[in-house]
Structure 1
């Protein structure tokens, strides 16, 4: 996700969706400036979308894909849903040629975990718990697998969660998860993840908590925990953003069964966005964790 200050630079056209007061509405396509690429697909982050739906009217979305031509790789930019954008805008990354949009979106969520895990001290992957089963959690378990984890407990209340198809994953309810030496909150519920962290363990905060969520300092002190903020825009070396994205794209292309893309990714016509947004907080929400909107015909 990119900051509001980055959005303010306006190196993109208007969003195709605005949200607020519990509903989403479509917006007509804006004429792009010269040199911009058209937003062909955009990717939902369900937790972010739900928070924005509950607020006042605003542009929706934070990740859109476009490319300059058939011979070019997809560029992902941190701009609202369906916007045309400057491919050199802050935070944009380019995928290798040949990757389809669903896999590119999946790589983008894995990139978040890659950057976050680089900040975890004394990484121990023999005893790992991940809280959540959405796109952030899926990207996290794939990155843990890339780094060598072979036994990853995923805490989720969802039955038959698609994340269970990821390498090394065992889905468990919170009461059966036990404790982990490394616990990663990928759902924005730090208190739940803290309850699963073993004494002397590491608690990683990858999902975005709600404003006002807190961990008790006494709880951290007594547990002897290291708590690591894993926001993808935390300080990193020059070029680390693109380097992490390239690394995970190549790993996915070489190690992941391509048929899993149909299990984890669903593409919905952009014109159906209001109906899809209405389902995000209901039992009828699509099972696939990675949801894309296709703006090709809207």
Structure 2
């Protein structure tokens, strides 16, 4: 019997198929033995757009579920609404009392937590964050957790919801001074590079497109330190869950629930194709955190 692909073993019953610029809803499937049913999934616009533009595949980024209301949430890197093995690589757990929006938000803050661990603490003063989506929001919250009180967010969006985060000032690209720490949270390294001061640090937190490049000559002449901030870069065993646990506990204690609600939009799962079609449109939802609810879809 041929070996089963690891991706097949770790999840089953993806609810959305994407490719060729389109998406389609798939019927629900019963979870396999030992699997957790997917209850909510997280829309990551950059990931979704790349998947939509590619060949046909199961679409999605992260799905969360639990066996019952008293059990921990499990958040796993599997497609929208899929049932999954709770022990699959990259899965993290959250306390049952944490609402789904904070379970998801903590996951984005976890990315920044792991990435900022690679940046010397002395360089965290007055950072510039490029982008205003979910990755950027997780980044500014993590900077705040680390004691940073003034953060410039570079965005073209008017009235971006991220502006409500404590310590954040939103500025357009043409109105911001260069910074000693510039973090690309939008997957546009050139824009972040143009804002990096001589001797500064350029952090790459957002995922760039294949073929995008950090300008080597600029980095060379500017004396920059370039830090890869991908969450799956090498780390100590247990660091992944430890970072998630740390930021989730901080969010539960420090973040105003009413503020968190303004950052999140939850839609029924069966409206996934409608939502994904809006990601490149001017009418794209303003909220940086987008969830799909699969419990009744």
Q: 1:16: which partner in 2? A: 15
Q: 2:229: which partner in 1? A: 230
Residues 52-81 of structure 1, C-alpha deviations (whole Å, 9 max, x = no match): 111111110120000011111211001111
2:151 and 2:77 map into 1 onto residues whose CA distance is 30
Kept in 1: contact 2:69–2:96 (CA 8 A)? no
Q: 2:65: which partner in 1? A: 66
Counterpart of 2:192 in 1: which secondary structure? helix
Gaps of 5+ in 1: 1-5
Kept in 1: contact 2:13–2:31 (CA 8 A)? no
Counterpart of 2:128 in 1: which secondary structure? strand
Shift of 1:256: 0.7
Counterpart of 2:257 in 1: which secondary structure? coil
1:229 and 1:138 map into 2 onto residues whose CA distance is 18
1:232 and 1:219 map into 2 onto residues whose CA distance is 25
Q: 1:37: which partner in 2? A: 36
Q: 1:96: which partner in 2? A: 95
Q: 1:3: which partner in 2? A: none
Kept in 2: contact 1:7–1:79 (CA 8 A)? no
Q: 1:207: which partner in 2? A: 206
Q: 2:179: which partner in 1? A: 180
2:16 and 2:9 map into 1 onto residues whose CA distance is 16
Counterpart of 2:11 in 1: which secondary structure? coil
**1:79-90 to 2 correspondences below 5 Å:** 79-90=78-89
User: What is the RMSD computed on CA atoms of the aligned residues?
Assistant: 1.1
**1:1-298 to 2 correspondences below 5 Å:** 8=7, 10-298=9-297
Residues 76-133 of structure 1, C-alpha deviations (whole Å, 9 max, x = no match): 0011110001111111100123110011111100000000001113542222000000
Kept in 2: contact 1:20–1:57 (CA 8 A)? yes
2:6 and 2:33 map into 1 onto residues whose CA distance is 19
2:271 and 2:78 map into 1 onto residues whose CA distance is 20
Counterpart of 2:18 in 1: which secondary structure? strand
Instruction: Give the TM-score normalised by the residue count of structure 2.
Output: 0.96
Counterpart of 1:8 in 2: which secondary structure? helix
Shift of 1:175: 1.0
1:185 and 1:203 map into 2 onto residues whose CA distance is 8
Shift of 1:31: 2.4
Distance 1:222 1:276, change over 3 A: same
2:238 and 2:150 map into 1 onto residues whose CA distance is 31
Gaps of 5+ in 2: none
2:122 and 2:81 map into 1 onto residues whose CA distance is 38
Distance 1:153 1:7, change over 3 A: farther
Instruction: Give the TM-score normalised by the residue count of structure 1.
Output: 0.96
Kept in 1: contact 2:199–2:225 (CA 8 A)? yes
Residues 266-297 of structure 1, C-alpha deviations (whole Å, 9 max, x = no match): 10000111110110110111111100000011
Residues 159-197 of structure 1, C-alpha deviations (whole Å, 9 max, x = no match): 000000111100000111101111000000000000101
Shift of 1:9: 5.3
Shift of 1:30: 1.9
1:26 and 1:171 map into 2 onto residues whose CA distance is 37
